[in-house]
Structure formats: C-alpha cells, structure tokens
C-alpha cells in the first residue's frame, strides 16, 4: 500500500462512509479511510433488536462520559460514540429522521449559505431508497434503505390514535412534506439487518481498487506545513505512521473526536492550546464550543394486558427470536421496536415541532434494564431545541487521553419549562380513550409527582441523553470568529483541511442525527470534488396554518 493518497478521511462513521464511497466513485482518486474501531460483523450489531448491546460494549464504543452536570445533580451522563466500522450508525437505535425543513433554513440564516432546506432536500433524495415514504419527497434509488416496522403490536396504533383523540394531526411521512403529527417511525433496516453507513456505502465501495481502509488506526494529529494540511499521523499496531494527502484531509470523526483532533493539531482556542504545550496553527475559539444534545425522559405506564415485549424478556424467548433472525432475518429481531413516533409543538407561537416522541411497547431503559413491574409501555420524550450549550476540551496533549465533555445540560430556565410541558402532554396522551384497554398505573414519574418542584426533581434525576451530540465545529460565514468551517466545510485558516460530520451543525436538528450526518457527507463530497451542488428544490414543506394561535 502506498503512503500517499489524494484524500484521507478520518473516521468510518455516518458521514465518513458516504464520503469514502463518493470520493472513490470515479475510480481515479486514491482514498484512504482511517478508523480506530474494528469489524462490525456479528449479530449484536447486525440484528436490529439487539441495539442496546453494542452501545454498552467497550469493543464498539469509545467509552466517553460527560463531566459532572451541575444542573442534573452532578450526574455524569454516558456519551457513547461508535468505535467500529460504520461509527455510530453501527451502534445507534436505527431511527431515521431527516430533520425539519426549518432547521436547515435556520442553518442558512446562521451563516451556512447553501444549506437551506431547498439545498439539502436533493441530497436526502440522493442518499435514500425509501420503502413506503411519500412519493416526490423521498429518494428511490439511493444506497441507504429506509423502511417501517410491521406494527405487530396494537400499542403502536393506540399511540397514534391517542394523538388524534388529543387533537393532533397525523402525517403519512414525517420525512416527507409534513413532519408535524403522529406517524409510523422509520428505521435504517434492510432485509432484516441494520442498514448502517458501512453496509450502505463503505462495503460496496471497498471493492474498488482505489479505496483503502485501515482499522485500528488512532489518528494523533493532522500534519500541517505552511498552513496547509498535508497528511495525518496515526498509531496502529503499536507504531506511529504517517500518510500523505495530495489534495485534502477530511475529518469525519464525530462531534467529540473531530474537535479533539483539530485541537491536537494546533487548531483551536490559542490560550487553551498553549497551556497544554501545543503549537498554535490557527486560533479558532469555536473549536469544541457550541456543543448541543437532546435530553429525553422515559414516561412509563403499566400495561394491564400481557402483550408487551416483556413477555419475551426471558432466555427461551430471546433464543427463539435470535434463531428466527439468524436463519430467516425475520421476526421481532428484525425491528428496533421504535415503530410509532410523533413531532408536536409545545405551545402556540412555536412555528414548527419542538418535541419528539419515540414510542416503545415495553418499559425498559436504554441499557437494556427492564422495569421490575412487568408489562408496560413508554414514550421517550424531550425538547428539540434547548438553548443550553457546552464544550469539548482537551485534558492533555496526549492523543490517547479522553477529552473533557461538558454539555451544561438544563442550564437555561426554558429547559425546565419545556420538560415539564413534555411530561404533562404525555400524561394527557396516555389518558386518551385509545389506551383505555391497556392502561395500568403510571410507573414513572408516578401519580404522586405533580407539582413543578416534584417534576423538576424527577427531571434532574432521570433525564437521559438521546445521544445526539453535535455542533462543536460549527459551520458559518468566513468572517464569523466562532465558525470553524465555511459553508463548503473547509476549516477556516488552514488549507486542504475539511470537517464533515455532525460537528459542523450550527443548530441541532429535529430528531435523530444519523440522517443529517449522512446528508452532510453526501453534500460535502460534491464540495470536495469541486462538483456543482445538486439543483435546489422548489418544494414547499407543510407548516401548521394556525401555528401562531394554536398548539395543535
């Protein structure tokens, strides 16, 4: 293998796999992908229903956690990031959400010119093959397969019916013209397997002779000469090696590791770098700043009928489901079990949804711990646009040391109001007639938790990350002192270097971040190759006509 390439991509995650495929597509560019993790083979990753396992395994996860969060009682929250081929798309919940049209128009208003909804919609269409989505709004021959569940459990329909009974709208496709409303949830599953960015993009592309992948490669820093990125230094198998890039180096190492690598390379807040003995190449105070995430609560209700996933929470049932999946790629093992969803607005005057629901016919935690009560169902609910901001910082100049990750969760007074609203709106939903035949007692928070103070105590103790960190290498105008990359993903102040992953989001998008991360990889590929962007769309997304005066 040569040590010189046209492009070097750091990170084989959601965006990195997409770029590896697109940059190597014409067969002439020599592309190298460096990934610290290893293989994604095996049922724990490939079987959709096993999703709680890889996220909690050191083999597949970087093992990061937040600093003690002062507004959450000093708790350290887990911050899993995929350390495996496919990155976090190989360990996530497989939920597919593009984001709301207004999210991307806001990006453009914040200085990310050319990233409005009309510009990104064509890339969403290019990347996906939608099974059952809205015609004209969805892709039909892209590498990423997106499907809906079998809706095997009557509770999925009850959730959607309850939304209608409570006066909310229903949408046939929240990734189409209209996000707002109750809907079938979409998942990145294809033929019964997790359809990660590795399965969709990287593995087919690796059949080309011009794409190389090195697994087990820890990138130490970007090599910069005369203010230009010329390659990377990485450690693999106990030795330190270098690879040269004749055209560009692209960081796609996650919203935690991309800023970390930039700072290790001398790009970041000058005072912080100097304090660690790192030579400053470019003083960019925005590197690591603007950290955002979604928090969520699990509102759990007992179920009086024995129809939930709890009946399969035993070794015999798990073995049967596993065997059925292993041999036929069918059955309960072929779904992530998130098959119903909703996006609603918290109050009148909010233009587009700011609350997301995942519904699950089971009362269980993300780490796979079942509720002791037995049969139950739950809604994962949380606000979409918290004003709280945190930061990722280096703790040492040693590339092997973990960074400091401080989200500063719930530091804004509105966060508390929003979460209390989430709990009360969910209780109203679960109180609808659609749930009458199933509804037992409220497991959590519990009927006794009613006052603002009691709800705040519950939030402080039980709010969990939805694992959507982003924003730490914010995209913006070249003259914006806090922007890290320009609207073509080029690092401001250094030539030949780009960042393209969820770290460049100026504002967190509505919903799960896998889809927009892949979209960033797709769009960045055209910028990197110097290709004209896809023609802008003139399709107009649906906005609630009475949003100024009505909550639903």
**Mapping DSSP to helix (H, G, I), strand (E, B) and coil, where does residue 303 land?**
strand
Q: Average pLDDT in the 133-145 region?
A: 98
Under 8 Å between Cβ of 475 and 506: yes
pLDDT over threshold 60, residue 207 = yes
Catalytic residue among 119, 190, 358, 468: 468
Asked if the structure places residue 315 within a domain, the reply is yes
Q: Average pLDDT in the 201-209 region?
A: 98
Q: Which residues are annotated as a binding site?
A: 6-35
What residues are paired with 25 via a beta bridge? none
The answer to whether 294 is a known catalytic residue is: no
Give pLDDT, residue 52: 87
Report CA 514 to chain centroid distance, whole Å: 4
Among positive and negative, which fits the CA dihedral 408, 414, 416, 421?
negative
pLDDT over threshold 80, residue 352 = yes
Give pLDDT, residue 372: 65
Confidence of residue 222 (pLDDT cuts 50, 70, 90): very high
pLDDT over threshold 80, residue 469 = yes
Give pLDDT, residue 366: 62
**Mapping DSSP to helix (H, G, I), strand (E, B) and coil, where does residue 420 land?**
helix
Asked if the structure places residue 358 within a domain, the reply is yes
Q: Average pLDDT, whole number, for the chain?
A: 97
pLDDT in tens, 371-415: 667 999 999 999 999 999 999 999 999 999 999 999 999 999 999
Asked if the structure places residue 361 within a domain, the reply is yes
Domain coverage including residue 352: 150-184+295-383+411-462
Give pLDDT, residue 428: 98
Give pLDDT, residue 147: 98
pLDDT over threshold 60, residue 1 = no
Q: What is the DSSP string of 356-398?
A: EEEEESS-B-TTSPBPTT-SEEEEEEEES-----BEEE-S-S-
Rounded to a whole number of angstroms, the distance between the first and last alpha carbons of the chain is 59
Asked if the structure places residue 336 within a domain, the reply is yes
Q: Which range (152-156, 365-369, 480-484) has the least confidence?
A: 365-369
pLDDT over threshold 60, residue 19 = yes
Asked if the structure places residue 486 within a domain, the reply is no
Asked if the structure places residue 165 within a domain, the reply is yes
Q: Which residues are annotated as a binding site for FAD?
A: 6-35
| C-alpha closest to that of 229 among 15, 498, 4, 485 | 498
CATH code, 377: 3.30.410.40
Q: What is the share, in percent, of the chain residues with pLDDT greater than 70?
A: 98
The tally of domains found in the chain comes to: 1
Asked if the structure places residue 512 within a domain, the reply is no
Asked if the structure places residue 340 within a domain, the reply is yes
pLDDT in tens, 488-531: 999 999 999 999 999 999 999 999 999 999 999 999 999 999 99
């Amino acid at each position: 293998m040569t040590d010189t390439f046209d492009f070097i991509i750091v990170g084989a995650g959601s965006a990195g796999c997409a770029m590896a495929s697109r940059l190597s597509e014409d067969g002439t560019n020599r592309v190298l992908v460096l990934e610290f993790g290893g293989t994604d083979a095996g049922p724990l990753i490939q079987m959709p229903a096993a999703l709680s396992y890889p996220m909690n395994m050191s083999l597949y996860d970087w093992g990061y956690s937040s600093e003690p969060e002062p507004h959450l009682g000093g708790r350290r929250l887990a911050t899993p990031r995929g350390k495996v081929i496919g990155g976090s798309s190989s360990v996530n919940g497989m939920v597919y959400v593009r984001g709301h049209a207004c999210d991307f128009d806001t990006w453009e208003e914040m200085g990310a010119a050319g990233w409005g909804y009309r510009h990104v919609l064509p890339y969403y269409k290019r990347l996906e093959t939608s099974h059952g989505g809205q015609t004209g709004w969805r892709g039909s021959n892209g590498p990423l397969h997106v499907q809906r569940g079998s809706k095997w459990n009557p509770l999925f329909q009850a959730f959607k019916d309850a939304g209608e009974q409570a006066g909310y709208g229903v949408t046939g496709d929240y990734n189409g013209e209209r996000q707002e409303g109750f809907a079938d949830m979409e998942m990145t599953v294809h033929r019964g397997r997790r359809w990660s960015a590795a399965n969709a993009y990287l593995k087919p592309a690796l059949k080309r002779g011009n794409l190389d992948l090195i697994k087990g490669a820890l990138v130490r820093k970007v090599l910069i000469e005369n203010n230009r990125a010329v390659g990377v230094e990485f450690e693999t198998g106990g030795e330190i090696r270098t690879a040269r890039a004749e055209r560009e180096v692209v960081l796609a190492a996650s919203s935690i590791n991309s800023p970390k690598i930039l700072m290790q390379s001398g790009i970041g807040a000058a005072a912080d770098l100097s304090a660690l003995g790192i030579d400053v190449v470019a003083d960019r105070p925005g590197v690591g700043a603007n950290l955002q995430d979604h928090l969520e609560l699990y509102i759990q209700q007992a179920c009086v009928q024995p129809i939930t996933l709890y009946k399969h929470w035993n070794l015999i049932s798990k073995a049967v489901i596993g065997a059925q999946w292993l041999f036929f790629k069918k059955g309960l093992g072929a779904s992530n079990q998130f098959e119903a969803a909703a996006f609603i607005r918290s109050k009148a005057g909010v233009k587009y949804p700011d609350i997301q629901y995942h519904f699950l016919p089971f009362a269980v935690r993300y780490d796979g711990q079942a509720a002791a009560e037995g049969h139950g169902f739950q809604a994962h609910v949380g606000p979409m646009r918290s004003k709280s901001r945190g930061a990722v910082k280096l703790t040492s100049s040693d590339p092997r040391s973990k960074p400091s990750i401080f989200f500063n969760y719930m530091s804004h007074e509105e966060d508390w109001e929003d979460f209390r609203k989430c709990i009360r709106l969910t209780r109203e939903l679960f109180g609808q007639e659609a749930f009458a035949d199933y509804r037992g007692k409220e497991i959590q928070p519990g009927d006794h938790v009613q006052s603002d103070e009691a709800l705040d105590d519950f939030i402080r103790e039980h709010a969990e990350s939805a694992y959507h960190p982003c924003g730490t290498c914010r995209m913006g105008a070249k003259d914006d002192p806090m922007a890290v990359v320009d609207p073509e993903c080029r690092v401001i102040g250094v030539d030949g270097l780009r960042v393209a992953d969820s770290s460049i989001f100026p504002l967190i998008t509505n919903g799960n971040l896998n889809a927009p991360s892949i979209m960033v990889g797709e769009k960045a590929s055209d910028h990197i190759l110097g290709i004209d962007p896809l023609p802008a769309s003139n399709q107009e997304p649906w906005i609630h006509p009475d949003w100024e005066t009505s909550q639903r």
